[in-house]
């Protein structure tokens, strides 16, 4: 039987108006190849008030040894069976004490100033309960594949276009969980999309046009291995609230127009090259 290992929460760091505490939950299961890089991307943040919570699902590949290597800098960690990634994230969010929260997958990374830039965005947009940045896609060796540029998301825009934001570069106010609830543990592939739909139905968002996180593409990613399940869950999430094709195209045109107005010509050129290759 898998031994459950826990470390007690450390005393809460002093929260200030300028540096509200940020809690990052990292769900992990047998990702030892990438886990250390993900952990260090949180621990090496330029922002001074970060709480890292690692929820390991009972890994047997050396992940626990990596976690123990940094346990004096991790606020809380445990290793034991869970009911999937959404369940692991929910357990971590329930433990979190930060004013702002987010999750980072154990094979993905933040840029070193990601949290600082997101909190700066929050200060500039006090009515926003969700702040996001842009994202890059990287390979197993951390080499950039391409950047993905976003604009300020809304409930209607992600309903029309899908995931035009990412957990890899976003934070939201922890207090929103008392209104919105937590991630849907019945979903195993598209729970992030369903979560951000619910979140944006209840709060405004703000966007900072800087790459702040990276999604790693490799042969063991869930997207790579389970595209049919992604499609099935996506259909389930959108049941009864589908958007007509012409509305989806209008939102896409709006997004590209904003990129043009912002002078992001290189991004549009890279997008065109990507879709031509695809």
This prediction has a pTM of 0.90
In a domain, 241, yes or no: yes
In a domain, 151, yes or no: yes
In a domain, 194, yes or no: yes
In a domain, 8, yes or no: no
Per-residue model confidence (pLDDT) at position 220: 67
In a domain, 142, yes or no: yes
Structure token pair of residue 165: 């934001």
In a domain, 34, yes or no: yes
Per-residue model confidence (pLDDT) at position 145: 92
CATH of the domain at 206: 3.90.550.10
In a domain, 1, yes or no: no
Mean pLDDT in runs of 10 for the chain (278 residues)?
41 65 98 97 98 98 98 98 96 98 98 98 98 96 94 97 97 98 96 98 98 90 74 93 92 92 83 75
Q: Which domain holds residue 220?
A: 19-277
Split into its structural domains, the chain has a count of 1
One-letter-per-residue 3-state SS of the chain: CCCCEECCCCCCCCCCCCCCCEEEEEEECCCHHHHHHHHHHHHCCCCCCEEEEEEECCCCCCHHHHHHHCCCCCCEEEECCCCCHHHHHHHHHHHCCCCEEEECCCCCEECCCHHHHHHHHHHHCCCEEEEEEEEEEECCCCCEEEEECCCCCCHHHHHHHCCCCCHHHEEEEHHHHHHHCCCCCCCCCCHHHHHHHHHHCCCEEEEEEEEEEEEECCCCCHHHHCHHHHHHHHHHHHCCCCCCHHHHHHHHHHHHHHHHHCCCHHHHHHHHHHHHHC
In a domain, 3, yes or no: no
Per-residue model confidence (pLDDT) at position 278: 65
Per-residue model confidence (pLDDT) at position 264: 85
């Amino acid at each position: 039987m898998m031994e459950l290992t826990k470390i007690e929460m450390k005393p809460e760091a002093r929260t200030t108006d300028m540096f509200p505490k940020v809690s990052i939950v990292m769900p992990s299961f047998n990702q030892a190849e990438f886990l250390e890089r993900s952990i260090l991307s949180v621990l090496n943040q330029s922002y001074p008030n970060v709480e890292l919570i690692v929820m390991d699902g009972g890994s047997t590949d050396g992940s626990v040894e990596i976690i123990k290597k940094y346990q004096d800098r991790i606020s809380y960690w445990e290793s034991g069976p869970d009911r999937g990634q959404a369940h692991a994230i929910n357990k971590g969010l329930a433990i979190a004490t930060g004013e702002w929260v987010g999750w980072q997958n154990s094979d993905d990374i933040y840029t070193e100033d990601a949290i600082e830039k997101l909190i700066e965005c929050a200060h500039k947009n006090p009515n926003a309960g969700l702040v996001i940045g842009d994202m890059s896609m990287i390979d197993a060796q951390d080499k950039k594949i391409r950047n993905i540029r976003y604009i300020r998301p809304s409930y209607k825009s992600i309903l029309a276009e899908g995931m035009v934001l990412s957990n890899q570069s976003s934070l939201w106010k922890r207090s929103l969980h008392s209104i919105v609830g937590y991630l849907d543990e019945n979903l195993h592939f598209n729970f992030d999309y369903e979560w951000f739909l619910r979140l944006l139905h209840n709060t405004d968002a703000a966007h900072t046009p800087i790459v702040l996180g990276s999604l790693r593409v490799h042969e063991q990613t869930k997207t790579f291995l389970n595209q049919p399940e992604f499609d099935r869950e996506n259909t389930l999430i959108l049941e009864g609230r589908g958007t007509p094709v012409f509305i989806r195209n209008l939102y896409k045109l709006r997004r590209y127009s904003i990129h043009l107005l912002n002078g992001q010509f290189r991004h549009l050129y890279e997008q065109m090259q990507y879709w031509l290759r695809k």
